[in-house]
Structure formats: structure tokens, C-alpha cells
Amino acid sequence: MSKKTDLIAADRGQDAISLHLIDKDGFADWAKKLTGGQRASLEAQKFEGSGYQTAIVPDGDKWFAVGGVANPADLSSWCLAKLAEVLPAGTYRLASGDPGPAMLGWQTAQYRFDRYLSDDSSTGLRILLTKEAKAIDSAQAEAAAVAKVRDLVNTPAEDMGPAALEAEAEALAKAYRAELTVTTGDKLEQEYPMVHAVGRAATRHHSPRMLELTWGDAKHPKLAIVGKGVSFDSGGLDVKSAAGMKLMKKDMGGAAHALALAGLIMGGGLKVRLHMLVPAVENAIAGNAFRPGDVLTSRKGLTVEIGNTDAEGRLILGDALARASEDEPDMIIDFATLTGAARIALGPDLAAMMCRNDDTAQAFLDAGKAANDAVWRLPLPESYREYLKSDIADMNNTQTNPYAGASVAGLFLDRFVGEGIDWTHFDTFAWRPFSKPGRPKGGEALGLRAAWHMLQSRYGNG
């Protein structure tokens, strides 16, 4: 489990090891300035300035490090990440310029999920210096939010059920003096009937609940953040295969994003009236599980025929989005590990985004590009609404054809969002199947920082 550590520090001229960033085109000219022994050392390490290459170079009785990057003059979030992974513990500074956005990757590269490890295999901390002292707090907050998503998603379902999600929301509310309301039992069945139906087969600390956190000045614009909190998805009576169930501890990844984003919003003092909603359930199998063919009546009053119990995330989100809409917020953003179709379309690195408003969509795209957290917009085509038709209810929760599954799921959610509300849906994977510098295999924040930077731009800090 990640721990709060200061991996970024103000540069006050203290002793530090130099970091040089070189691209392949500039390597030959840069190497001419080195001694013969230093060039020999680089040659022995086969360093030639290619991306993510690293080397340690002797310098008298000291040494410096060098890393290959795409463009030393235009640093990305990840250009120092490989160095942060492989260098010995110590304090470092860039030989030229300031790390800027690379402070994020320097921190996320040192993330470790060690909650269940009996032996501490840590190799120590690498500290990066910056002369931009004012940027340290925000860089640390952003990295901590990424680590929070990773921690929650990486934790197995037995230890990250609905009760554990409630504890996370309670800790967040306590930290920022927010108000937390938890709805369970008979009241949940009455007020959030689809949440209750999806989660009723689970028992004990996995019983369903709706978590609602409110914070901020009531005079400020209302911002609703919704996160899908399916702590484990067996598929219900339409049970998944063993392979399909293997990663389903991550099906609460939307809730993890919502909790982390709420922390950034409150910690950053954003000028909003925040309303965070997390419907927290386990989609379990038992005699009282909801069935294929059942018709559920939602909080909004729309009836939904169950075509497949494995399309449960959109059901609980429907009730949450209906509740969020009742306060007529300025904006609603939801995060959900919703469809395999989004992954087939975009792969594991891009969160699918669906927006009602073109200007809002562009703002998210621009923010994601600037923050190295790219998202990709998918459409909400009116002509595909017919795919959700039911013969006996207002709509079905699944389609009978294989087309445009991510967009059709988005259209389902759209039915529960109030008319005229600026709504954005992120279908995020919340997982990284392959490691990259600064981005280890496992739980991952995808779309979180794009949303955070967009919200900062729109609403400003207090």
C-alpha cells in the first residue's frame, strides 16, 4: 500500500546527483563534452539517447545519471519515470531546467502496492528537487490521487467491499469536513431500487448502500461526481467465466476515481458545491439475486427489463444519476468500468468519454492532452437508442446486437440524467495490463487527471 512520502522537495542548493536528459539526435554532440572514460562508460551501457534508456556515468569521485527522452525541451509527465524506477535511493536535480510536469511520473514510478507483502523489498526513496516550490503541493496531491485509485483497485474484493468503500468515503468526509450520508436496507430499496436489486444477494459487509458526500459553499455552482462501486462482479445469474471474473475486483474502479477526484476538489478548494455519489454493491449469486427477465422500477420511475444480470453497473448508475440530477447541478461527471466494448475500441490506455456538450467535450480532450492523461470521445447516436427497446418495459438494460456497445451503454445512462444538464461519462478501464515507466501493472487512474485539470480550468481554486 502506498504511503505518504515527500518525493519532491524544494531546491535550496543542497547536495544532489545531476540528471541529464538527452534525445537520440542530440546525443553525439552532448557526448563530445564528456571525457573519454565517460563516453566509454556510456558505450558499455549501450546508451545512445533512445527513449527510456538510462545510464550512470562516473564523474571523478561522484557520478551523474542520464536518461533518454523524446524531447529534452518539452518534458512530459513520464520522461523521468524510468530514472525514478531504477536509480539508487538519493536526492536528484535536473542539470538543466526544472522538472515541471515530470514531477508526477517521478512519484508514480515509485508507487508500490505492498499491503499483503510480508517482506519489505523497498530500495529506498528517490527525491527530486525543484525550484518551483509553489508547484510541489499540487504535484504531490495529484500523485497521491493516482495512488489512491491504484490502492483501492488493487485491493481484493474481500477487503474492498461496499463497507470498505463506505469507510473510504467516511475518511474523506472527515478529512475535509464534508457531510456523508449512507443509505442502506429498506430505505435503500425504497429510494434506490435498482441499487438494492443488484446488491441484495450479497451479505454482511458486502450488503448494498448508497454513499453521498456533500461539501462546499451552497452559493457555488453544483458539481456532481458519480462513481460505479461494484466491489466484485460475478456476473450475477448470468455468471461470468473464470477468466471473465479474474479481474472483477477492479469493477469498483469508477468509485475509486470518484473518491480520488473528490479529494482533489476539496483539497484544492475548488469553487463548487460538490455532491459525490457512489452506489456500492457486490453483484453476487444467491437465491434472492435479481434475474434475467425481471423488470425493475428505477428511482426516476423508468422501468427496466433485465436482459442480462452482468450489465449491472448501468443499473446502479441510473439511480445515482437520477439522484444527482434532482439538484439540477451545473455539471455531472460519472466514472465507470462499464463495457468491454470500450476496451476493444480504445485499448487499455484511453478512457472512453461521452459528452452531451461539444464545448465540454473539447475542454476534457484539451485538458487530458496537456496533462498526459489522454481520453477519447465516443458518440451518443440518437439512432442507437432503439437498441435498448423492451417489449414489456420502458427499456432493456442490454442490446441484442453486437454493435457500439460502449455508446449504447452511454445512451442507457443518458435516460437517467436530467434534461439540459451538462453530463460527461467516462468508461474507464481502471487497470493497466502492461507496465510502462511510471505506470506499473495493476490498478490505474485513467481519465482522473484529465477531469481534474478541466475542472480547475472551469471553476478555479479558492
| Nearest C-alpha neighbor of 12 from the set 176, 96, 132, 141 | 132
217 class by beta-carbon count within 10 Å (0-12 exposed, 13-18 middle, 19+ buried):
exposed
What is d(CA 413, CA 451) in angstroms, rounded to the nearest whole number? 19
Residue 355 φ then ψ, to 5°? -130, 145
Neighbouring CB atoms inside 10 A of 120's CB total 7
Q: Which of 39, 131, 240, 356 is catalytic?
A: 240
Q: Which of 126, 249, 314, 432 is catalytic?
A: 314
Do the strands 209-215 and 273-283 form a parallel or antiparallel pair, or are they unpaired? antiparallel
What is d(CA 164, CA 159) in angstroms, rounded to the nearest whole number? 7
Residue 86 CB contacts under 8 Å (≥ 6 apart), including other chains: 54
356 is catalytic: no
Helix (H) or strand (E) holding 172: helix 162-176
Q: SS3 of 275, please?
A: strand
HEC per residue, 331-365: EEEEEECCCHHHHHHHCCCCEEEEECCHHHHHHHH
> Contact 454/374 with Cβ under 8 angstroms?
no
Residue 30 CB contacts under 8 Å (≥ 6 apart), including other chains: 20, 22
What is d(CA 219, CA 269) in angstroms, rounded to the nearest whole number? 14
240 is catalytic: yes
| Nearest C-alpha neighbor of 202 from the set 168, 170, 173, 164 | 164
Q: Interhelix angle for 448-459 vs 358-370, to 10°?
A: 120
Which residue type is seen at 168?
A: E
What is d(CA 237, CA 232) in angstroms, rounded to the nearest whole number? 14
Residues involved in catalysis: 240, 314
